[in-house]
């Protein structure tokens, strides 16, 4: 279904836009919207769509809730911490809403998609105006119109039996990189993960829609794209099954104007030989693979329902490295999963030392309501989890430092994103292997590829100086 074909949504957008124009004519001030995003890149990209719709309706962006006319929290339920922050932040808006009853407050995203959550939030925070989930993001204009015309909380949570809605306006973050969602949902049901429960089953976008979006991104000057999905490796299996992720990479590789292609997240069980071949042969596909292993123990992998063994994972890494030499491999690891023994944890450390990941996102297991693992016996004591996490971090940091040290005096290709966050006199960008490089060079390099000589490799970043203008 195409967004532009839904008459109700289009009418709602036009109506709100007209009202906002009249407001501007009266006051000389544009209405302002603030979006706060929690969680993963999928959510960040969803917020780009919300911003696209809001801009079309005449709202300008603000990062300041004091002057915002509309505030949206795009929530995440993957980590407990993010949920607590949402509650805190929404609660803190109460006094603002008292002062300015016209302020519109919305909450959306996967936290709202959890069973009973939307009703719970509506009860706890009755001053919230709109609550919606992940499957009806595109209906936001209609819900906003209802909220503007009503004094009650508008709640609409749909299940995932709907088709993908194409053509939602997107206001992408400025810069060199753009996100492109290629599929939604996940079929894997890892026992600790809430995603399949809130994002639904796998749904792939059509080849034509994806390629046309990327051509458009290229025309708008972006140099790098990151293909997004909970499990991009299984792209296409829900369509006809004869056009898969490897085929998509080959087609994207031909698009003029894009220099680099990245993708995330990959599931080891779906990383096929065809995909490895495509990664090796497609010049624009970067030499970086994020391949979450989660644990190095077969016992824990089985309890996690990951559907591969440590031996299969190690074999996969060997095959990837054989086909794509010098590829950077990063991962996610959970420590303290229910029933994890000291031996299981040692198996994880052993796997980390064997693979030598370039870096790892490491987490202490925390139960998510609604998942199988939350009901498992033998939950691990928090102190034990902390101790294991620290031990793991120490091992991984040492490896990351070692891996970065070999870059000393090497010349790397950097896509220059802007000035460094820590030093405005330095530029910042990433190598094809996704290493962050801060370096001295002309600001004219921003947005371009540059050659940089690494002078000081550190644990988290490489420091250097530009040795050539544009590559
Ligand atoms: S692959 Fe597993 S961890 Fe990843 S989104 Fe799906 S269920 Fe969650």
- Interval 192-214: pLDDT, tens: 999 998 889 999 999 999 999 99
Same-domain pairing of 11 and 150: yes
* CATH at 433: 2.40.50.140
Same-domain pairing of 147 and 17: yes
Same-domain pairing of 247 and 277: yes
Does the CB atom of residue 379 touch ligand 1 within 6 A?
Answer: no
Pocket test for ligand 1, best of 201, 267, 301, 303 (most atoms within 8 A of CB): 267
Domain that holds residue 119: 3-156
User: Does 9 fall in a domain?
Assistant: yes
Distance 224 CA to ligand 1 centre (A): 25
Same-domain pairing of 70 and 108: yes
Same-domain pairing of 11 and 148: yes
* CATH at 37: 3.40.50.280
Q: Which of 267, 286, 305 is the last residue of a domain?
A: 286
pLDDT at 79: 73
User: Does 166 fall in a domain?
Assistant: no
Place of tokens 């096929």: 272
Distance 32 CA to ligand 1 centre (A): 36
Q: Which of 113, 130, 156 is the last residue of a domain?
A: 156
Q: Which of 156, 183, 211 is the last residue of a domain?
A: 156
User: Does 334 fall in a domain?
Assistant: no
Same-domain pairing of 191 and 132: no
Does the CB atom of residue 464 touch ligand 1 within 6 A?
Answer: no
Which residues 6+ apart lie within 8 Å of 54 measured at CB? 33, 35, 61, 70, 171
The closest residue, in CA terms, to atom 2 on ligand 1 is 190
User: Does 324 fall in a domain?
Assistant: no
Same-domain pairing of 276 and 182: yes
User: Does 27 fall in a domain?
Assistant: yes
pTM of the model: 0.93
Same-domain pairing of 133 and 221: no
* CATH at 281: 3.30.750.210
Same-domain pairing of 33 and 142: yes
pLDDT at 353: 98
- From CA 266, how far away is CA 233, in angstroms rounded? 6
Does the CB atom of residue 266 touch ligand 1 within 6 A?
Answer: no
Residues of the chain with pLDDT under 50: none
User: Does 291 fall in a domain?
Assistant: no
- Contact by Cβ (8 Å): 147, 129: yes
* Tokens matching residue 325: 């030499």
Does the CB atom of residue 188 touch ligand 1 within 6 A?
Answer: yes
Q: How many domains does the chain have?
A: 3
Same-domain pairing of 124 and 177: no
pLDDT at 1: 82
Same-domain pairing of 35 and 147: yes
pLDDT at 4: 87
Query: Can you tell me which atom of ligand 1 is nearest the CA of 193?
Result: 8
Same-domain pairing of 114 and 253: no
User: Does 243 fall in a domain?
Assistant: yes
User: Does 392 fall in a domain?
Assistant: no
């Amino acid at each position: 279904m195409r967004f532009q074909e839904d008459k109700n949504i289009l009418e709602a957008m036009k109506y709100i836009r007209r009202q906002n124009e009249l407001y501007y004519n009266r006051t000389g001030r544009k209405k302002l919207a603030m979006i706060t995003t929690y969680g993963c890149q999928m959510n960040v990209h969803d917020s780009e769509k919300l911003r696209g719709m809001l801009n079309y309706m005449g709202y300008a962006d603000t990062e300041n809730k004091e002057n915002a006319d509309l505030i949206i929290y795009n929530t995440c339920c993957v980590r407990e911490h993010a949920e607590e922050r949402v509650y805190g932040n929404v609660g803190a808006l109460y006094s603002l809403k008292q002062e300015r009853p016209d302020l519109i407050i919305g909450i959306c995203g996967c936290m709202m998609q959890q069973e009973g959550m939307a009703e719970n939030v509506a009860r706890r925070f009755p001053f919230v105006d709109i609550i919606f989930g992940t499957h009806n993001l595109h209906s936001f204009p209609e819900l906003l119109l209802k909220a503007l015309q009503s004094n009650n909380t508008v709640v609409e949570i749909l299940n995932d039996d709907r088709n993908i809605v194409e053509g939602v306006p997107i206001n992408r973050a400025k810069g060199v990189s753009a996100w492109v969602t290629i599929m939604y949902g996940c079929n894997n049901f890892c026992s600790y993960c809430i995603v399949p429960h809130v994002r639904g089953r796998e749904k792939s976008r059509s080849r034509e829609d994806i390629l046309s979006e990327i051509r458009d991104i290229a025309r708008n000057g972006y140099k790098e794209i990151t293909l997004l999905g909970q499990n991009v490796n299984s792209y296409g299996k829900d369509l006809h099954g004869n056009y898969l992720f490897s085929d998509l990479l080959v087609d994207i590789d031909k698009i003029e104007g894009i220099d680099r292609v990245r993708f995330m997240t990959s599931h080891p069980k779906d990383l096929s030989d065809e995909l490895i071949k495509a990664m090796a042969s497609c010049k624009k596909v970067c030499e970086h693979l994020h391949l979450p292993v989660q644990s190095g123990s077969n016992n824990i992998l089985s309890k996690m329902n990951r559907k591969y063994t440590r031996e299969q994972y190690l074999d996969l890494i060997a095959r990837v490295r054989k086909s794509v030499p010098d590829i950077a491999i990063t991962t996610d690891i959970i420590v303290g999963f229910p029933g994890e023994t000291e031996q299981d944890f040692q198996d994880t450390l052993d796997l980390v030392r064997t693979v030598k990941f370039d870096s790892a996102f490491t987490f202490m297991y925390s139960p998510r309501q609604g998942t199988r693992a939350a009901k498992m016996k033998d939950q691990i004591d928090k102190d034990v989890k902390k101790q294991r996490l620290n031990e793991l971090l120490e091992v991984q940091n040492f490896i990351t430092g070692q891996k970065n040290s070999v870059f000393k005096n090497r010349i790397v290709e950097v896509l220059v994103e802007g000035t460094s966050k820590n030093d405005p006199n330095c530029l910042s960008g990433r190598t094809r292997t996704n290493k962050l490089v801060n370096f001295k060079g002309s600001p004219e390099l921003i947005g371009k590829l540059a050659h940089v000589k690494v002078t000081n490799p550190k644990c988290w970043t490489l420091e250097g100086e530009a040795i050539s203008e544009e590559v």
